């Protein structure tokens, strides 16, 4: 018989378990008033899905519970109710289809802010996307997925509260933030708008969860950019120091275990994510909310099986300087004949993950709900690459498609170290059964395949002028100077230079063998 990574989780983790009984122990001595007092002081629960069980101790394993059904992603809660905030976005739409296809009850919220901001730049999604109404129809027609959508600004707490009461989500995936560093650096208005939208949206959501769905899991999207890239080379742990990290001072020694690691955000957008991190962490402590705070690497790509089912199901794809992410932009540049733009030295190392792998990560997290009060940080990357290496790889794959791709170094409009070490610990996702399956080359091939289609090339031509970065961290608005243009084989790794080091244990749990299926 198969075993699953989440077999041994219990009702204590399950969003269907409504806590009852007298919980009067807290480190700070507070009791949670929402628990009714019972005889004996034991914690007992009621199961929302199996009321016939009455009051019982939260000890049933997922492997013993008929509501947690085996799938290739581990056990999943039958017809689980998910609410995706930011469902119209690059990741939100992709996840909606993925979860819908897996049998989730999908609801979603968006205010189409992303569409408006891209228009402000004079750009558009180069992969055409339909209106939400048509997207929902297409999801029904091609994949038989029902999506319960509501146009709401997350900052509008009254409307969001009503929708939460209607949907009663068991998990909330919160994508609804402005995702752009350069956008937050345009001027004071943009910086203030980004921080308000992101920080206050999330803060308000936390209060609503406390009052309406305290048992639900919040999967909150942060970014690897919250950590920065420390020049000491200190590993980027998953949010907290491990117990064996030691502070030595004045001849004495302390464990740093469980203390938050330093954050060093690299734009006002990244600062908004760090602020979110603290707000979510505190809410978990104060109110027993449960959350995964996902430090997501840079996402690239266009493919999941669901997105590829029909052109009407595609997710957005942006290449402008504000909203395009680096690999996606490089492929667009390759097709348009714009030399790939390395900022400064091009020796920056970042964590990356393909769209399809990123979606599997979300399913894995949803399959492993945290315990009451548990706040866990997850580093979500599948590889660390130098920007130079990415450019080279895009150029090489581009050549397979007949594009003659050049690489250019330009002045760096950002303030960041251009040569630095990077060591990342990513254990929480592998422990939940995640294994990266999509290589950089494979996804880049899929991108060239889609983006070099005629109707998309025509759209790329239209947004060509939005690609070169003109938003400087200094406040300047100007074209960066070109420092040099190279052919891909002239771009070499420096001898003895830094290399990214990724700690990702891949043998910790049983996982479904996709290879067997692909044979």
Partner 1 sequence: MIFTDKNFQEEVLKSPIPVLVEFWASWCPPCKMVEPIIDRLEKEYMGRMKIGKMNVDINPVTAKRYNVKGLPTFIIFINGKIVYRGVAAKTENELRRVIEEILASQDEEVRV
Ligand X SMILES: NC(=O)c1ccc[n+]([C@@H]2O[C@H](COP(=O)([O-])OP(=O)(O)OC[C@H]3O[C@@H](n4cnc5c(N)ncnc54)[C@H](O)[C@@H]3O)[C@@H](O)[C@H]2O)c1
Could you say whether residue 90 binds ligand X (CB under 6 A)? yes
- Give the number of other CB atoms < 10 A from CB of residue 184: 24
Query: For residues 58 and 346, which CB has a smaller minimum distance to partner 1 in the complex?
Result: 58
The active-site residue, picked from 73, 90, 183, 269, is 269
The active-site residue, picked from 98, 220, 273, 388, is 273
Quick one: how many helices (H) and strands (E) in the chain? 15, 21
Strand intervals (E) in 163-261: 171-174, 217-223, 246-249, 252-255
- Angle CA 435–441–446, to nearest 5: 95
69 as an active site residue: the answer is no
Q: How far is the CB of 378 from partner 1 (least distance, A)?
A: 13
Q: How far is the CB of 48 from ligand X (least distance, A)?
A: 28
Could you say whether residue 129 binds ligand X (CB under 6 A)? no
Could you say whether residue 374 binds partner 1 (CB under 8 A)? yes
Smallest CA-to-CA distance from 215 within 33, 30, 13 is with 13
Q: How far is the CB of 197 from ligand X (least distance, A)?
A: 5
Q: How far is CA 441 from CA 396, 444, 445, 452, 468, in A?
A: 9, 5, 6, 16, 24
Chain mean position to CA 108: 16
Measured in residues, the chain has a length of 519
Chain mean position to CA 304: 16
Please tell me the distance from the alpha carbon of residue 462 to that of residue 258, in angstroms, as a whole number.
Answer: 50
Could you say whether residue 15 binds partner 1 (CB under 8 A)? no
Please tell me the distance from the alpha carbon of residue 296 to that of residue 352, in angstroms, as a whole number.
Answer: 8
Tell me the per-residue interface mask from 245 to 264 with partner 1, x by CB under 8 A, - otherwise.
Answer: -x------x-xxxxxx----
Q: How far is the CB of 456 from ligand X (least distance, A)?
A: 18
State the number of binding residues for ligand X (CB under 6 A).
28
Could you say whether residue 301 binds ligand X (CB under 6 A)? no
Task: Looking at residues 140 to 199 of the shown chain, list those that interact with ligand X (rule: CB under 6 A).
Answer: 153-155, 175-179, 197
First to last CA, the chain: 21
Q: How far is the CB of 246 from ligand X (least distance, A)?
A: 31
Could you say whether residue 12 binds partner 1 (CB under 8 A)? yes
466 as an active site residue: the answer is no
Q: How far is the CB of 272 from partner 1 (least distance, A)?
A: 22
Could you say whether residue 350 binds ligand X (CB under 6 A)? no
Contacts of 301 (CB under 8 A, 6+ apart): 327, 328, 354, 355, 356, 438, 443, 446, 447
269 as an active site residue: the answer is yes
Q: How far is the CB of 160 from ligand X (least distance, A)?
A: 9
Please tell me the distance from the alpha carbon of residue 293 to that of residue 130, in angstroms, as a whole number.
Answer: 31
Select from 86-94, 237-245, 456-464, 491-499 the region that touches partner 1 (CB under 8 A): 237-245
Interface residue with partner 1 among 7, 78, 264, 371 (CB under 8 A) is 371
Contacts of 137 (CB under 8 A, 6+ apart): none
Interface residue with ligand X among 182, 201, 421, 433 (CB under 6 A) is 201
The answer to whether 351 and 381 are in contact (CB under 8 A) is yes
Query: For residues 56 and 498, which CB has a smaller minimum distance to partner 1 in the complex?
Result: 56
Please tell me the distance from the alpha carbon of residue 44 to that of residue 344, in angstroms, as a whole number.
Answer: 59
Please tell me the distance from the alpha carbon of residue 519 to that of residue 516, in angstroms, as a whole number.
Answer: 5
Could you say whether residue 17 binds ligand X (CB under 6 A)? no
Smallest CA-to-CA distance from 489 within 407, 367, 385 is with 407
Smallest CA-to-CA distance from 387 within 356, 425, 418 is with 418
Contacts of 353 (CB under 8 A, 6+ apart): 296, 297, 298, 299, 300, 361, 380, 381, 382, 383, 436
The answer to whether 79 and 102 are in contact (CB under 8 A) is no
Could you say whether residue 292 binds partner 1 (CB under 8 A)? no
Select from 37-45, 307-315, 437-445, 508-516 the region that touches partner 1 (CB under 8 A): 37-45
Interface residue with partner 1 among 39, 133, 144, 244 (CB under 8 A) is 244
Could you say whether residue 92 binds ligand X (CB under 6 A)? yes
Query: For residues 194 and 511, which CB has a smaller minimum distance to ligand X in the complex?
Result: 194
The answer to whether 350 and 298 are in contact (CB under 8 A) is yes
Interface residue with partner 1 among 56, 142, 193, 240 (CB under 8 A) is 240
Query: For residues 181 and 391, which CB has a smaller minimum distance to ligand X in the complex?
Result: 181
The active-site residue, picked from 202, 223, 389, 466, is 223
Interface residue with partner 1 among 15, 17, 58, 390 (CB under 8 A) is 58
- Which spans of this chain sit near ligand X (rule: CB under 6 A)? 86, 88-92, 109-114, 153-155, 175-179, 197, 201, 221, 223, 296, 298-299, 325
Which residues are part of the catalytic machinery?
A: 223, 269, 273
- Which spans of this chain sit near partner 1 (rule: CB under 8 A)? 12, 22-25, 27, 29, 41-43, 57-58, 240-244, 246, 253, 255-260, 284-285, 288, 370-376
């Amino acid at each position: 018989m198969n075993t699953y990574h989440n077999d041994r989780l219990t009702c204590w983790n399950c969003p269907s378990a409504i806590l009852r009984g007298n919980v009067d122990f807290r480190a700070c001595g507070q009791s949670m008033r929402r628990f009714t007092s019972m005889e004996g002081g034991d914690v007992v629960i009621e199961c929302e899905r199996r009321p016939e069980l009455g009051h019982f101790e939260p000890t049933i394993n997922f492997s013993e519970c008929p509501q947690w059904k085996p799938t290739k992603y581990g056990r999943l809660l039958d017809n689980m109710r998910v609410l995706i905030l930011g469902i119209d976005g690059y990741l939100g739409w992709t996840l909606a289809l993925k979860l819908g296809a897996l049998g989730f009850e999908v609801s979603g919220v968006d205010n189409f802010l992303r569409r408006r901001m891209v228009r402000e730049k004079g750009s558009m999604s180069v992969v055409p996307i339909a209106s939400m109404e048509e997207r929902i129809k297409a999801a029904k027609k091609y994949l038989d997925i029902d999506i319960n959508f509501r146009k709401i600004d997350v900052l509008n707490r009254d409307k969001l509260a009503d929708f939460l009461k209607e949907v009663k989500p068991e998990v909330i995936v919160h994508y609804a933030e402005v995702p752009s560093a350069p956008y937050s650096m345009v001027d004071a208005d943009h910086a203030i708008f980004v921080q308000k939208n992101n920080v206050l949206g999330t803060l308000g959501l936390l209060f609503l969860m406390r009052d309406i769905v305290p048992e639900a899991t919040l999967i909150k999207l942060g970014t690897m950019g919250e950590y920065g890239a420390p020049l000491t080379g200190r590993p980027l742990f998953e949010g907290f120091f491990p117990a064996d990290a030691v502070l030595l001072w004045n001849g004495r020694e302390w464990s740093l275990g469980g203390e938050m690691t330093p954050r060093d955000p690299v734009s006002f957008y990244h600062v908004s994510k760090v602020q979110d991190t603290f707000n979510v962490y505190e809410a978990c402590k104060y109110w027993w909310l449960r959350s995964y705070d996902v430090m997501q690497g840079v996402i690239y790509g266009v493919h999941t099986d669901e997105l590829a089912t029909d052109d009407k199901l595609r997710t957005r794809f942006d290449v402008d300087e504000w909203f395009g992410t680096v690999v996606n932009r490089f492929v667009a540049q390759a097709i348009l004949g714009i030399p790939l733009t390395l900022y400064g030295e091009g020796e920056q190392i970042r964590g990356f993950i393909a769209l399809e792998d990123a979606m599997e990560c979300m399913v894995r997290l949803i399959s492993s709900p945290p315990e009451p009060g548990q706040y866990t940080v997850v580093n979500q990357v599948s590889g660390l690459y130098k920007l130079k290496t990415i450019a080279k790889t895009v150029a090489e794959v581009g050549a397979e498609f007949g594009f003659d791709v050049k690489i250019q170094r330009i002045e760096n409009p950002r303030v960041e170290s251009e040569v630095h070490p990077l060591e990342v610990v990513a254990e929480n996702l592998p422990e939940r059964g995640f294994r990266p399956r999509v290589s950089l080359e494979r996804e880049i091939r899929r991108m060239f395949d889609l983006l070099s289609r005629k109707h998309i090339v025509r759209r790329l031509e239209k947004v060509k002028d939005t690609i070169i970065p003109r938003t400087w961290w200094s406040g300047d608005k100007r074209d960066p100077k070109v420092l040099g243009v190279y052919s891909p084989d002239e771009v070499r790794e420096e001898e003895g230079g830094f290399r990214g080091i990724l700690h990702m244990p891949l043998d910790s749990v049983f996982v479904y063998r996709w290879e067997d299926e692909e044979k």
